[in-house]
Amino acid sequence: RPFRVALIGRPNVGKSTLFNRLTGTAKGRWTGGTAIVTPIPGTTRDRKTGPCSYAGISMVVTDTGGLVEEDEVRIEDEAGDVEGEEVEDMDPRGLVRERVRAQRKQIQELINAQVAQAVKESDAVLFLVDARAGVGPGEAHVAGWLHKVGASGKTILVANKVEGGVSSDMQTAVYDAYAFGLGDPVAISAAHNEGISELATLLVEKA
Ligand code: GDP
Ligand code: MG
């Protein structure tokens, strides 16, 4: 059975870019398909799987959709918050907004369930954070959830977008990430192919 690795993290941190980077070096049959990399958060809504081979170790990598806290799922609502209003009092635009809101929430619940499944089925988890954007309550929430489900031991914390080394701004993010109790973050740049072999080495050490 190959060693299974799940890529998780909030939208836009570079999971799909790292997935393409790791599986691009694969020797073996392609089982997934290229993950779509976009600046639009939430593009990867299903799980995507591909093979990766490093130092003679065969791995199966799974890309996932971005983890978002439930109460973050909301749509632009210029007309103000419609929540709590009686349905019969709503104008048609309010009803449409409410319908879109409900659908987004459903989609996000599906993504969160898929991520939970991927973590459960994996031997190692790469929890990516964006060192440029910094880490906040959203990342802390994911970290807390990893501890809660007993997955912290198989998690490697990865600080992405650190091309050219850690700047002083990024240093703050790295310290904040360290406080998650998931060990020292591994600095990489998925887009610029930096730190990837160091990360792969850490991964195969877990295999
Ligand atoms: P995902 O939502 O976590 O799957 O993130 P994507 O892989 O789709 O990437 C989101 C955005 O971040 C895209 O615009 C990527 O080009 C960009 N990105 C990914 N990795 C890096 C990196 O190492 N450095 C920088 N500067 N940008 C990156
Ligand atoms: Mg993605």
Q: Find out whether 97 and 82 touch, Cβ atoms under 8 Å.
A: yes
The answer to whether residue 82 scores a pLDDT higher than 80 is no
164 vs 124, 159, 187, 194, CA distance in Å?
A: 27, 13, 10, 8
Which ligand 1 atom minimizes the distance to the CA of 7? 3
Q: Find out whether 59 and 199 touch, Cβ atoms under 8 Å.
A: no
Which ligand 1 atom minimizes the distance to the CA of 194? 23
Which ligand 1 atom minimizes the distance to the CA of 160? 23
- pLDDT of amino acid 78: 36
Could you tell me the pLDDT band of residue 69, with boundaries at 50, 70 and 90? low
Residue 45 Cα to ligand 2 midpoint, Å, equals: 8
- pLDDT of amino acid 29: 37
Domains of the chain and CATH, by start: 3-71+91-206 (3.40.50.300)
Residues with CB under 6 A from ligand 1: 9, 11-17, 37-39, 43-44, 66, 160-161, 163, 189-192
98 residue type, one letter: E
- Choose the residue to mutate in 16, 18, 21, 37 for probing ligand 1, maximizing ligand atoms within 8 Å of C-beta: 37
Nearest CA to ligand 1 atom 25: 161
Could you tell me the pLDDT band of residue 51, with boundaries at 50, 70 and 90? confident
- pLDDT of amino acid 87: 57
Stronger pLDDT, 145 or 48, i.e. the higher one: 145
- Choose the residue to mutate in 12, 18, 130, 186 for probing ligand 1, maximizing ligand atoms within 8 Å of C-beta: 12
Q: Which of these ranges, 44-53, 128-137, 143-152, has the smallest mean pLDDT?
A: 44-53
Which ligand 1 atom minimizes the distance to the CA of 37? 8
Q: What percent of the chain has pLDDT over 70?
A: 77
